[in-house]
Structure 1
Amino acid sequence: MIARPTPDLDTLDRLWLTEAVRLREEHAGPLDDDEANRQARAQGGDLPALIEQRALWLARRDGLVEALLHWRQGARLGGFALALLAVFTGAGLAFAALGDGQRPVNVFWALGSLLGLNLLTLLGWLLSLLFAGDSGGALGRLWLWLSQKLARDARAAQLAPALLSVLHQHRLGRWLLGFGVHGLWLLAMGSALLTLLALLATRRYGFVWETTILGESAFVGLTQALGALPALLGFSVPDVEQIRASGALGGDLEGARQRWAGWLVGVLLIYGLLPRLLLTCFSLWRWRRGRAALKLDLNLPAYRLLRERLQPPSERLGISDAAPAQLHAPSAGAQLEGNAGAVLVAIELDGSRPWPPALSKGVADAGILDDREGRRRLLDQLSRFPPARLAIACDPRRSPDRGTLALIGELSRCAAATRVWLLQAPPGEALDSARLDDWHQALDSLGLPHSSAAPLGWLESGHD
């Protein structure tokens, strides 16, 4: 069948697959890409488009497109698992901060439980952003690892390095992984805030502060400083007397109970949830902006080498000499009209067999393919002008070797419909039944219909 563009792939996916093919060739050597190059040239376009079309064709052939879909499914499952972990982590932080209500809550110990890990990881992300480039931190690496494991596809192992390489080339890794990391912490802080409100609404808590080496003025100043921004949003802040009373053994805790609760909720919202929300939105904005500007990096050495194969000098420079008075007529593979709807071609027939058979006007004869140049010329023509119907005549007295089967497969992918004609033996000869069975099995594996009956009627009308 005719090679068509892979559906449902956006710009990132196409660049991702192109990079996966490049990395694969870099580590395992050049791939067999004659047909891919031919299909890319038939599609046309500038060099980035040709490189991309070649890579997508190879990705379809080698199963990388299916692996990409599996990887994306694994990424979604990994993200969902991490989101659940974040929700339970946030709830656990709130329970650890307030306890069971049997004893007063140390407000600064509770605040450290709610915000300490969040602020430490935020500081680590900022340091990695400055010194480690596109690092996404431990959560980012964990998400990539989970995505690969949940994909359950050995071919998907090539995709994570390819994705990181594409993102690194455009300096987008920090924003994609940053969006994931800040989004998870946003879920955790949101879960902690909701759990905190639920506990404060259903249990009776008292709040105290305790110290051995610090003075009372340090806690008063710190409480008022942390409560300044929440107070602008209407959250309550304990006054000086209530703060002092909360530090005294046996002090009056009842009057300050609601104010301490409001202060704790406000501090968690302002210093825990709000920074993560802003960084999540900022990372998402930078990611979308950078993603819209993605393009192929033609400065990579592998792509400079591909230029000669995808854009030969004769195509890039145009015609430099006048055409000769008479062109050389090739002996194999006749010149086809661009609008030929049905084509008959034979592969390696000996001279004792008369060829071609009588053909109607609507069927084009592509001759006998018996050399590399004839094959290349015909495949180029069929790639540019795909016929609706193609019949391939083969001599079943020959063994169905891998080269012949590969050629049949390439020819079949250049036409909308293909049939293989297994020719009868010449008079006085008999076909080897074992060899004929080999042909049938090989063609069945290619998914091509085959018969010993001449498909000339099908070529002419499209039906038997």
Structure 2
Amino acid sequence: MTELNNLWLTETIRLREEHAGPLDDLEANRLARSAGGDLPTRIQRRALWLAERDGMTSALKHWLQGARLALLVLAILAVVSGAGLAFAALGDGQVSVNVFWALGSLLGLNLILLLSWALGLVFAGEHGATLGRLWLWLSEKLARDAKAAQLAPALLLLLQRHKLNRWAVGVLVNSLWLLAMLSALAILLTLMATRRYGFVWETTLLSADTFVAMTQALGALPSLLGFNVPTVEMIRASGDTALNIESARQAWATWLVGVLVVYGVLPRLLLALFCLWRWKTGQASLRLDLNLPGYAQLRERLMPTSERLGISDAAPDQLHRVESAVSELHSEGALLVAIELDEQRPWPPSLPKSVSNAGILDSRESRNKLLEQLSRFPPARLAIACDPRRSPDRGSLALIAELARNASATRVWLLQAPTGEALDAERLGDWHTALQQLELPFADCAPMNWLETGHD
């Protein structure tokens, strides 16, 4: 993940919470606090955890795939359009080519849109919006992920806040036009190499001197790069009919290619490189705007002035597979904890000296306090005792999963029923099914030997 993608996902999570309300972020906040760092770093860690949990990370990958496909489609359209300009300029060779009509076909639309782009850059800063929106629309359609719909608005807001959207769109617009001009140049050279063209100019209102001056003025810059310019005699003679002189045809062809290169290809190339440079340098300045309401209200939760206890959010609708985020190198010791045991059951059992007792989790305060401790001092082995007479409700399973993520290894101890009482077989089966979905090992006997030594 690049820094831009991290900020992008963070902004997406902010927009999602702004429109749909706060997410279930208790564990995300706790992990962000335990990882440390400044506030922007903690906000990003929280957002990335939520994005991974809720599928936004995979949606971003789908969106980027769609964006590449959309870019490929636009590139193909640019190549086809450039080829069409060249064919329209030269024709089939059966009639003489009007040099200024050909020049207008090759460069007219390009120069008009280039001027529009430049004016928009100077006065509005929102140039190329149509092509940019087309690319975003195609990217979203090709992504084929409903969650990807939230990504494009987040990216636009992030870039607009730092005025980078103009350079991103500038790279897109100028690169596509550069591709079109290169395609037109390639087809132009191919047609000139395989067909015989004659070149003329025609006018009713203008004099021959005007066309001589225009031709020489347009050819001044190309001549510096080695392109030929027709002589005054060739220009005047081409006003009557296409010259059947090989040198005249070559001079006009070289002049036309040179004008296309200098006024069509090079400006788009230089502008694309300039926009790319501004985009690259601007990316280094991308930061979260901590004054936004969505980020400002996270300050106390991620960098609290005092420790606050309590769980206020409901358990998630779907339990996720447990994958411990704790390595064996950063964990030590063994811990036994029980979840919601009644007063009739004696607790704790006799424990070896190397095993610590975390008590019974029967309130929000006790749960949150233990989770905070585990985030700082994760155990190497954790045993969770549960009463299988209770149903494996969503909240209990979510708590077991969260506890397991904070230990190197976890086992669940399904306690035996008190003397004279039998366990409900169906309810016990529900426990087995739920724990198998979490991929946690469980047993109905005390795992004391495992807790003490790490072996059964």
When normalised by structure 1's length, the TM-score is 0.89
Give deviations 1:221-272, integer Å, cap 9, x for gaps: 2111111100111101111221111111465554410011011100000000
Equivalent AA in structure 1 for residue 404 of structure 2: S
- CA, structure 1 residues 343+145, in 2 after alignment: closer, same or farther (shift >3 Å)? same
CA contact (8 A) 2:331 2:407 kept: no
Query: Match for residue 257 of structure 2?
Result: 265
Aligned length: 435
Q: Distance in 1 between matches of 2:453 and 2:125?
A: 63
Q: Distance in 1 between matches of 2:374 and 2:429?
A: 29
Query: Match for residue 331 of structure 1?
Result: none
Is the aligned partner of 1:18 residue 2:10?
yes
Q: Distance in 2 between matches of 1:115 and 1:456?
A: 83
Q: Secondary structure at the match of 2:204?
A: coil
Query: Match for residue 57 of structure 2?
Result: 65
1:369 Cα shift? 0.2
Equivalent AA in structure 2 for residue 400 of structure 1: P
Equivalent AA in structure 2 for residue 72 of structure 1: L
When normalised by structure 2's length, the TM-score is 0.91
Among candidates 408, 431, 435, match of residue 400 of structure 2: 408
Query: Match for residue 3 of structure 1?
Result: none
CA contact (8 A) 2:98 2:201 kept: yes
Alignment of 1:84-163 (within 5 A): 84-163=76-155
Farther-moved stretch of structure 1 (89-98 vs 280-289): 89-98
Is the aligned partner of 1:399 residue 2:414?
no
Alignment of 1:19-98 (within 5 A): 19-98=11-90
CA contact (8 A) 1:74 1:146 kept: yes
Query: Match for residue 429 of structure 1?
Result: 421
- CA, structure 1 residues 102+349, in 2 after alignment: closer, same or farther (shift >3 Å)? same
Equivalent AA in structure 2 for residue 15 of structure 1: L
Q: Distance in 2 between matches of 1:206 and 1:251?
A: 7
Equivalent AA in structure 1 for residue 21 of structure 2: G
Is the aligned partner of 1:170 residue 2:156?
no
Among candidates 427, 433, 442, match of residue 441 of structure 1: 433
Query: Match for residue 341 of structure 2?
Result: 349
- CA, structure 1 residues 10+368, in 2 after alignment: closer, same or farther (shift >3 Å)? same
Query: Match for residue 300 of structure 1?
Result: 292
**Unpaired runs of at least 5, structure 2:** 309-329
CA contact (8 A) 1:206 1:253 kept: no
Give deviations 1:164-191, integer Å, cap 9, x for gaps: 1111111111111211111111111111
**Unpaired runs of at least 5, structure 1:** 1-8, 317-337
Q: Secondary structure at the match of 1:314?
A: coil
RMSD over aligned Cα atoms: 1.9
Q: Secondary structure at the match of 1:111?
A: helix
- CA, structure 1 residues 383+266, in 2 after alignment: closer, same or farther (shift >3 Å)? same
Query: Match for residue 306 of structure 2?
Result: 314
CA contact (8 A) 2:28 2:49 kept: yes
CA contact (8 A) 1:341 1:389 kept: yes
Q: Distance in 2 between matches of 1:135 and 1:23?
A: 25
Farther-moved stretch of structure 1 (149-158 vs 86-95): 86-95
Give deviations 1:137-165, integer Å, cap 9, x for gaps: 32222211121111111111111111111
Q: Distance in 2 between matches of 1:133 and 1:424?
A: 71
Farther-moved stretch of structure 1 (107-116 vs 264-273): 107-116
Alignment of 1:445-460 (within 5 A): 445-460=437-452
Query: Match for residue 206 of structure 1?
Result: 198
Q: Distance in 2 between matches of 1:409 and 1:179?
A: 46
Equivalent AA in structure 1 for residue 184 of structure 2: A
Q: Distance in 2 between matches of 1:428 and 1:236?
A: 107
Farther-moved stretch of structure 1 (352-361 vs 289-298): 352-361
Equivalent AA in structure 2 for residue 247 of structure 1: G
Equivalent AA in structure 1 for residue 163 of structure 2: R
1:340 Cα shift? 4.0
Query: Match for residue 328 of structure 1?
Result: none
Equivalent AA in structure 2 for residue 368 of structure 1: I
Percent identity at matched positions?
70
Farther-moved stretch of structure 1 (433-442 vs 450-459): 450-459
- CA, structure 1 residues 293+204, in 2 after alignment: closer, same or farther (shift >3 Å)? same
